Structure 1
């Protein structure tokens, strides 16, 4: 598949993901989000960035009093999907969340598949889900909650920017891992 057709397919799938989120920005011809990194973890070549869209934080049409938020997981690892997207309902008063749906885009085939989600209300256990709850319920405290504004841009542009961040982060992480390995060896010799 030529790179032009791959690019067109990514744009189509990104638009489909936004439409599935029910977001008002999905109705725009080139929808732009207001992206925030809410969490990141991993090691060299296996990083994951958890990115929430402030434009997706809207009152839920499904549950009265709940708030919607869309969170995109951007993967660095070649064996992982390019992205997973989860649409989450948050009940701010109870501190509970419910996954509405999830989609994944495969890295090489650019195919979208639906992810199975547990759609019952739950207290978030995973840190990134706790961060998603804080993102939706305390918009004025995002910086205080260790979230970083990425900026307003189109969906595909945000993904490409994070992939570039992974590329620039790799040498730093590799050097850090090498230093940790040397420290471990020196401690063993004591």
Structure 2
């Protein structure tokens, strides 16, 4: 496999601390395209929808960066994927992946299959829809985070987990209250 630095530049920039001028900071237009999991094990998938960061590939396919943030201990802080999408043939595949672990401040290659997916995972379907059906983003519950530097986007995953966990705790507490009221004797 040939390493293409351009593909993983956003991941590398998120991992490094260095001083640059404000005009040199890479930015993107980030969207939460999918989230899954539960309290303590959430995963959020964030795509960069900036037209300057979506690349044309041979055969009419397009490539974009998708970042999987993990909340569970022992998992990479995030994984940066290079996702290739062919809208005309309604297919998707992964062309590259890098895991970043903030505990060790290391970036390592992640395992992936570069085959066109016959039964893609939900986040890959959402990635395809993100590129191929941009007018349906709101209807598909994709949340716009906004345009920001890549380093700021790296903080969005943990913030999203805090919000998801608050909602999960609130729902659990409300369920317990409802169950308690249901068990109370009627007068």
Determine if the TM-score, normalized by the shorter chain, exceeds 0.5.
yes
After superposition, the C-alpha distances for 1:89-120 in whole angstroms (9 at most, x for unaligned) are 11111111121000010130010110121111
Q: In structure 2, what is the Cα distance between the partners aligned to 1:72 and 1:146?
A: 17
1:39 is paired with a residue of what secondary structure? strand
Relative to structure 1, the CA distance from residue 70 to residue 142 in structure 2 (aligned partners, 3 Å threshold; closer, same or farther) is same
Q: What displacement does 1:13 show?
A: 5.5
For structure 2, the 5+ residue unaligned runs are: 1-8, 16-22, 183-187
If you compute each CA radius of gyration, which structure gives the higher value, 1 or 2?
A: 2
Q: Which residue of 1 aligns with 2:13?
A: 15
Structure-2 change in CA distance of 1:144 and 1:185 (3 Å):
same
Does 2:171 correspond to 1:173? no
| Residue 91, structure 1, aligned to residue 86, structure 2 | yes
C-alpha distance in structure 2 between counterparts of 1:81 and 1:186, whole Å = 42
C-alpha distance 32-50 of structure 1, shift in aligned 2 (>3 A): same
Which residue in the other structure is 1:65 paired with?
60
Higher helix share: 1
TM-score, length basis structure 2: 0.77
> The residue matched to 1:64 in structure 2 has which SS?
helix
Matched length: 167
Q: Describe how 1:73-112 pairs up with structure 2 within 5 A.
A: 73-112=68-107
Q: Distance in 2 between matches of 1:184 and 1:95?
A: 46
Q: Secondary structure at the match of 1:14?
A: helix
Report what 1:156 is aligned to: 151
Using the TM superposition, give the Cα deviation of residue 152 of structure 1 relative to its aligned residue in structure 2, in angstroms: 0.6
Kindly state the Cα deviation for residue 142 of structure 1 after the two structures are TM-superposed: 1.6
Aligned counterpart in structure 2 of residue 48 of structure 1, from 28, 43, 49: 43
Q: TM-score, normalised by structure 1?
A: 0.75
SS at match of 2:116: coil
CA distance in 1, matches of 2:180, 2:97: 43
Offset from partner CA, 1:9-67 (integer Å, 9 cap, x none): xx9953288xxxxxxxxxx731011000101122122211110001232312xx32101
Runs of 4+ aligned structure 1 residues displaced above 4 Å come to 178-187
